[in-house]
Amino acid sequence: MSVLKTEGATMRFGGVTAVDNLNIHIENNEIVAIIGPNGAGKTTAFNMITGVYKPTSGQVLYQKPNSGNAAMENITGKRPDLIAGLGIARTFQNIRLFKEQSVLDNVLIANHVRLKNGFFSAMLHWPFYYKSEREMRERSMVLLESVGLADHANELATSLPYGLQRRLEIARALATQPQLLLLDEPAAGMNPKETEDLTQFVAQIRDDFQLTVLLIEHHMQIVMDISDRIYVLDYGKTIAHGSPAEIQGNPDVITAYLGVEEE
Amino acid sequence: MEKNKTRFRGIASGLTKNKRRNLLLSMIAIIALTVFLHFTEQGATVGSYEVRVLNLCAVYAVLALSMNLINGFTGQFSLGTAGFMAIGAYTTSLLIMPVSVKAKVFYLEPIVPWLENVHWEGNFGLFGALLVAGLITAVAAFIIGFPVLRLKGDYLAIATLGFSEIIRIVFTNTQSVTNGSTGIKSIPNTANIWWTFGVMAFFVVFMLRLMKTSYGRAFKCIRDDEVAAESMGISLFKHKMLSFVISGFMAGVGGGLMASVLGAITPLLFRFILAYDILLIVVLGGMGSITGSIVGAFLITTAKEWLRWLDAGFNIGPIKVPQIAGLRMVVFSALLMLVILFYRRGLFGNKEFSWDGMFRLIKNAPKRVAAWFKPKPKGGGAK
Ligand SMILES: Nc1ncnc2c1ncn2[C@@H]1O[C@H](COP(=O)(O)OP(=O)(O)OP(=O)(O)O)[C@@H](O)[C@H]1O
Ligand SMILES: [Mg+2]
């Protein structure tokens, strides 16, 4: 069962075609990577999928969890908050935490999208709101525990070291209870040890949360270790697609990366 | 494991002890305030002029909370408060004025028939009037919100300011409803100190509670990072609208209270300058601090009154300072600038008052004072 599919998704900014005719599909419970040199259009592809940008042309299709064999839903250009509601969560290449707020609050708010209580029952602290508030807190603490941030729950999000901030972003995304998780360079700026940990962590949350993961990453080690399949973008075009072994030996990929220093 | 348990229990019992102390202190503070208000209402503590200033302080606190909600907590630069206040003030006034007074006030052109015989009397009347004022203003905010909340930053500020002026100009021209530019006078002074402080207390509790709910947290996230908030499933428009409408409700109630405290209103009162006055309170107190808005409202409102002696001319020893109109505002502005220089994020930043915080401050005060007097370590040099 495909979870996500793009059909000829294209994004132009003025004269620049950031993503050109992107056709990817992601199967349930897979980890798929998108790689490519700087400016290849990877983040733009994420932005099209999550509704931050509306594709100039083409479509984004999504299969809601447990929807059996129903047709895929067209989510092209839907609002980001609605897409999050459908079960697609993401992290950002340039960390975007809620700076003025605690680690716990950062995760708590991601539960808001699943909140079933209206504003008035929240204000009146009606018992069922109280209950869902307690549940939100419990779920958030469990999540923080699982990413190893429970001890930092009451610290300011921006006071965390870089590596932990990236983890917090993942925890926040998980709190929206996604089916599909998009990670934009989760290992950027991490040292080899942290990168190693992250690789295991991503594989583990895929299993623990029954997730499907789409990953952008420059660290080849991670990509080769945990991806089931890889798409390679260059100047917006998809130049290769296959298993890690196939990609490693692909001459086009080697040419695209030639002269581009690996980070 | 066992060790951990006892450690946790230790912390827990410590917490409850502090909590009990804090509860006691809060109760004492509330009782003290109630007693003070009681005697003030009886005219036993301060004169009627001071009572009026205190009333205005509380009203400004409500208005500052209204503005802080949308600006400080939700991060939307909105300056429409004066217009919303006008709606609340006129609604309240027209509802609580006696029929005979209306006939006298509307001497240029008689008041429209559907308002002519409306008279909501006494405390119940004022309660109903303020509620209706709040609701009508909230509806106005809802309607205005549709076009303006799609804007951001300076554009939003200009658009809200524009709507505020439109409301004022409409009120200037609807002679048979608002009595036009002459304004309305002889509005019953039903709003005594219980009313102003009561409404203020209500909205303080309301805001504290709101910011503890998931919706309040969503507001703050929109303020911190709209893109991230939206990607986490928060509908920007829905939550901005919610904040804007609540803020409008509070501004409407605040405007209604102000009308009853002042006893007279004209459209000129609701010029955009009024919105700046309130913004000043919010910024001085701290964007995103409920405590800050209250403290700011009391500080600025009393300071403005207290500095009145500057305008009248005075003597510094042998030097005679003549009467200079506006000197008060010059000094006032200079003082403000000084405060903002030292407290860039306002007096409270985005923090709230807490007894624990206060005790920490007192405990650390000697250390801090000592640090001032300690000779600074000599650094650098020519080496
Ligand atoms: N909002 C925008 N407006 C104009 N051009 C844009 C915009 N967003 C991206 N681009 C351009 O699209 C191209 C692809 O950018 P994108 O950020 O998707 O690359 P990337 O593959 O994520 O690169 P990196 O590895 O550096 O993150 C770049 O040339 C970029 O300048
Ligand atoms: Mg990128």
User: Are residue B174 and residue B224 in the same domain, yes or no?
Assistant: yes
pLDDT, tens only, A87-116 = 999 999 999 999 889 999 999 999 998 888
Give B381 to chain A, closest Cα distance, Å.
34
- The pLDDT assigned to B220 comes to 95
User: Are residue B29 and residue B81 in the same domain, yes or no?
Assistant: no
Interface A:B, Cβ pairs < 8 A = 96
User: Are residue B31 and residue B102 in the same domain, yes or no?
Assistant: no
Report whether pLDDT(B7) > 50: no
Closest CA to B313 of B324, B303, B302: B324
Measured CA to CA, the distance from residue A236 to residue A11 in angstroms comes to: 9
Report whether pLDDT(B344) > 80: yes
Least confident span in A14-28, A64-78, B9-23, B301-315 = B9-23
| Residues with a CB atom less than 6 Å from ligand 1 | A 13, 16, 18, 36, 38-44, 93
Report whether pLDDT(B360) > 50: yes
Question: Which atom of ligand 1 is the closest one to the Cα of A185?
Answer: 27
pLDDT, tens only, A228-257 = 999 999 999 999 999 998 998 888 888 877
Least confident span in A40-44, B41-45, B51-55 = B41-45
pLDDT band for position B1 (cuts 50, 70, 90) = very low
Question: Which atom of ligand 1 is the closest one to the Cα of A233?
Answer: 21
Measured CA to CA, the distance from residue A150 to residue B49 in angstroms comes to: 55
For helices B290-306 and B272-285, angle between their N-to-C axes, nearest 10 degrees: 120
Q: Which helix (H) or strand (E) holds B61?
A: helix B48-68
Mutate to test the pocket of ligand 1, among A22, A44, A219 (most ligand atoms within 8 A of CB): A44
pLDDT, tens only, B257-306 = 999 999 999 999 999 889 988 999 999 999 999 999 999 999 999 988 88
Give B228 to chain A, closest Cα distance, Å.
6
Q: Cβ separation of A98 and B229 shorter than 8 Å?
A: yes
User: Are residue B73 and residue B26 in the same domain, yes or no?
Assistant: no
pLDDT band for position B10 (cuts 50, 70, 90) = very low
- The pLDDT assigned to B349 comes to 86
Q: For chain A, what percent of residues have pLDDT higher than 70? A: 96
Count of structural domains within chain B: 2
DSSP state of B184: B
User: Are residue B201 and residue B95 in the same domain, yes or no?
Assistant: yes
Distances (CA, A) of B148 to B133, B224, B227: 22, 20, 19
- The pLDDT assigned to A150 comes to 93
pLDDT, tens only, B190-242 = 999 999 999 999 999 999 999 999 999 999 999 999 999 999 999 999 999 99
Residue of chain B whose Cα is closest to the Cα of A169: B228
Tokens of B42: 């009886």
In terms of residue numbers, what domain contains B41? 16-45
Report whether pLDDT(B98) > 90: yes
- The pLDDT assigned to A143 comes to 93
Q: Is A56 exposed, middle or buried (0-12, 13-18, 19+ CB in 10 A)?
A: middle
pLDDT, tens only, B105-122 = 999 888 898 988 888 899
pLDDT band for position B5 (cuts 50, 70, 90) = very low
pLDDT band for position A154 (cuts 50, 70, 90) = very high
Q: How many residues does chain B have?
A: 383
* Averaged confidence pLDDT in chain B: 89
Tokens 């903002």, residue located:
B340
Report whether pLDDT(A215) > 70: yes
Tokens of B328: 């008060």
- The pLDDT assigned to B258 comes to 97
pLDDT, tens only, B130-184 = 999 999 999 999 999 999 999 999 999 999 999 999 999 999 999 999 999 999 9
Tokens of B119: 């008279």
Dihedral sign from CA coordinates of B160, B162, B163, B168: positive
Q: Is B128 exposed, middle or buried (0-12, 13-18, 19+ CB in 10 A)?
A: middle
Measured CA to CA, the distance from residue A172 to residue A111 in angstroms comes to: 9
Q: Which of B309-338 are b and which e, b meaning 16 or more Cβ less than 10 Å from the residue's Cβ?
A: ebeeeeeeeeeeeeeeeebbeeebeeebee
This prediction has a pTM of 0.90
Question: Alpha helix locations (H) across A87-191?
Answer: 103-108, 119-123, 127-146, 162-175
The shortest CB-CB distance from B228 to any of A92, A105, A117 is to A92
User: Are residue B27 and residue B98 in the same domain, yes or no?
Assistant: no
pLDDT band for position B123 (cuts 50, 70, 90) = very high
User: Are residue B38 and residue B179 in the same domain, yes or no?
Assistant: no
- The pLDDT assigned to B355 comes to 86
- The pLDDT assigned to B246 comes to 97
The shortest CB-CB distance from A99 to any of B210, B224, B234 is to B224
Domain boundaries, chain A: 2-99+176-258
Better pLDDT: B129 or B360:
B129
Q: For chain B, what percent of residues have pLDDT higher than 90? A: 62
Mean pLDDT of A170-182: 95
In the reported structure, the alpha carbon of residue A53 is separated from the centroid of ligand 2 by a whole-number distance in angstroms of 14
Report whether pLDDT(B312) > 60: yes
Report whether pLDDT(A258) > 70: no
Q: Cβ separation of B231 and A52 shorter than 8 Å?
A: yes
Rounded to 5°, angle at Cα A201 from A189 and A34: 60
pLDDT band for position A1 (cuts 50, 70, 90) = confident
- The pLDDT assigned to B4 comes to 47
User: Are residue B98 and residue B39 in the same domain, yes or no?
Assistant: no
- The pLDDT assigned to B310 comes to 80
Question: Which residues 193-212 of A are in CB contact (within 8 Å) with B?
Answer: none
Tokens of B295: 């403290």
Distances (CA, A) of B311 to B87, B127, B197: 33, 38, 30
The CATH code of domain A2-99+176-258 reads 3.40.50.300
Mention every residue, 6+ apart, whose C-beta is less than 8 A from residue B276. B79
Mean pLDDT of A191-205: 89
Q: For chain B, what percent of residues have pLDDT higher than 70? A: 94
Q: Cβ separation of B232 and A101 shorter than 8 Å?
A: no
Q: Which helix (H) or strand (E) holds A182?
A: strand A180-184
Report whether pLDDT(B6) > 80: no
- The pLDDT assigned to B376 comes to 61
User: Are residue B255 and residue B147 in the same domain, yes or no?
Assistant: yes
pLDDT band for position B16 (cuts 50, 70, 90) = confident
ipTM of the complex: 0.92
- The pLDDT assigned to B15 comes to 60
- The pLDDT assigned to A263 comes to 46
Residue B243 lies in a domain: yes
Pair A45, A9: CB distance under 8 Å: yes
Closest CA to B82 of B13, B22, B162, B4: B162
The shortest CB-CB distance from B233 to any of A98, A113, A136 is to A113
pLDDT band for position A162 (cuts 50, 70, 90) = confident
Look up residue B275 and give its amino acid: A
End-of-domain residue from the set B272, B301, B322: B272
Measured CA to CA, the distance from residue B57 to residue B278 in angstroms comes to: 11
pLDDT band for position B378 (cuts 50, 70, 90) = low
